[in-house]
Amino acid sequence: MERLVNTVRPYAWGSTTAIPELLGTAPTGEPQAEMWMGAHPGAPSLTSRGPLNELIDADPVRELGPATAEKFGPRLPFLLKVLAAGAPLSLQVHPDLEQARAGYAAEEAAGIPVDAPHRTYKDANHKPEMICALTPFEGFCGFRAPAEAADTLAALGVDSLKPYADLLHAHPEEDALREVLTALLTADPAEMSHTVAEAAAAADRLGGAFAPYAVLAHHFPGDPGVIAAMLLHHVTLQPGEALYLGAGVPHAYLSGLGVEIMANSDNVLRCGLTPKHVDVPELLRVVRFEPADPGVLRPEASPSGEEVYDTPIDEFRLSRLVRAEGAAPTDLTAATPQILLATAGRPKAGEITLSPGESIFVPAGEPVELTEAGTVFRATVVA
């Protein structure tokens, strides 16, 4: 087992206090948005033997186990994060595996540098992800029924929103959503800025369920993503609840602290709420225009007391163990690689005591027993 030293990314939307409070450290005054745990080359965790990605590269079968290495190749298939949103993140979607491979190959063939601002595909992998709330966590996820979104637009009383509301009553629903999102993203910027300003003023005046749109417009004045967010479900997770975000599902996080896990990829297509590049044609190809319930997940308890968040993919499996004082040891030995993250108490993994925010990497097959009181999130794969 290796205790991990993890990088905290200072993205502008990050909270200045949430991650320091978890770690028990003093705030720096700068935003601390994401703490990465894993082997992503952009910010690999450090161990006593070197960066985790280099450990795995040197002997993938030993570190990952033969089944994981054969199924996913010589790399850790997931990336675990603590995410602390102090301001809205961009409205975005992720590609499926086929789209990611094709998009990456096309941009490589075109000679677009991987760090170019207009580059869309940073790698050839998909990026399904899940966020599990540690505090109340607010965001937008998945399309609402178009008629419901139309009612929201109409209630604002903004004349320039009426054409979009009318379009949302068209059938089939998927076509209505596609047409409206396309119109929003291709509208004249000056006209859209005026529309967003009027909508934000109305949302601020109405308050209640409209208040989040005023918040978005405060951070991103004139951005069409403010109106696009009105097409989506507004969701507030309570601690322990989670959202799974598959390919093509539009989403944006607003505020809160959570544990996030995803396939080991950095592919993001932005729809709005961002100054960054928005590739409208590729975005419209990737988005799944399907109204659906956001599907708030609650963990399912197993006989061992491990609470598992059920997801439809194999690249990651996230579970939670809430240990009481005096509880019997929990054997977590597995044939797959694991990262264990403590979020409360002072649990012990083998001989390593973990304070909140601390984590360890457990190679495949290495014996590990969890003792002492505390809460631990366990990230592994389905191999």
Q: Which residues contact 155 (CB under 8 A, 6 or more apart)?
A: 206, 210
- Here the tokens at position 42 are 């952009």
- Here the tokens at position 301 are 């308890």
Q: Which residue, among 161, 149, 90, has the nearest Cα to 291 in the 3D structure? A: 149
Asked about 178 being catalytic, the answer comes back as no
Phi and psi at residue 166, to the nearest 5°: -65, -40
Altogether, the residues listed in the chain come to a count of: 383
CA dihedral 357, 380, 307, 355 (to 10 degrees): -20
| Catalytic entry in 270, 320, 323, 378 | 270
244 close to 117: Cβ distance less than 8 angstroms: no
Rounded to an integer, what distance in angstroms lies between the CA atom of residue 142 and that of residue 291?
Answer: 7
Rounded to an integer, what distance in angstroms lies between the CA atom of residue 223 and that of residue 217?
Answer: 7
Match 């491979």 to its residue by tokens.
Answer: 101
- Which active-site residues does the annotation give? 270
